[in-house]
Structure 1
Amino acid sequence: MYLRCLTGDRPHQWLRWLPWAEYIYNTAFQSALKTTPFQLVYGREPPSIRSYEPGETRVAAVAKTMAERDEMLTDARARLEQAQDVYKRFYNKHHRDVHYSVGDWV
């Protein structure tokens, strides 16, 4: 799902951004795991990545790449949240909360 969120309007650039998509997925909280995949595997919080502040570097190519990276990460996170909302609405539409007590017949 996260690759679709990443490559929605950039189908020819998916390979360039694949490591960042993997980072986003592995550092996102998973409700089934009650943690992130990274923390489950390594037993510690994932490393944080600083966002790029314009003017931090004098090299134009680095500045451009960092700005594109931040834009892509922001966009991918927004798309993942949007997809999660869609799945949540679908689930809740067909879900009914049922509670059973001892002695109830199924």
Structure 2
Amino acid sequence: MMDTKIAALSNIQKTNWDDQLPFVTFNYNTSTHSSTKQTPFEMTYGRTPILPLDYQEDNVTISHDSEHVKKLNQFLTKLNKQARINIIKNQERYKQRYGTNRSDPSYNVGDLILVKTLNIHSKFN
């Protein structure tokens, strides 16, 4: 996924791909992921990122009081629980999709089967 984005932003000769890494990384970290329904930035820092267009001349102050830290920890805990729930839902969905066209084989005594032996060597090898 990221390689496709880097390739799309690079020049024709693909010689400046490394110049595109910060932009692609920023895009990845601020995009909502399908499994967690959240951005990696929010999962890490507990807040939405300040985007370049959001920048204002006002000074941003961050509170370091214990109440703020407590609320931030509670919010991050809630965010992580929700991410786990979303991941479990996606895993169940993948499991259902996997099982729809799959059937377990049934064997009877005397049936011929093929056994793949990759790491078994006979003394004649």
Q: TM-score, normalised by structure 2?
A: 0.37
Q: Which has the higher contact order (CA 8 A, sep 6+)?
A: 1
**Bigger proportion of residues as helix:** 1
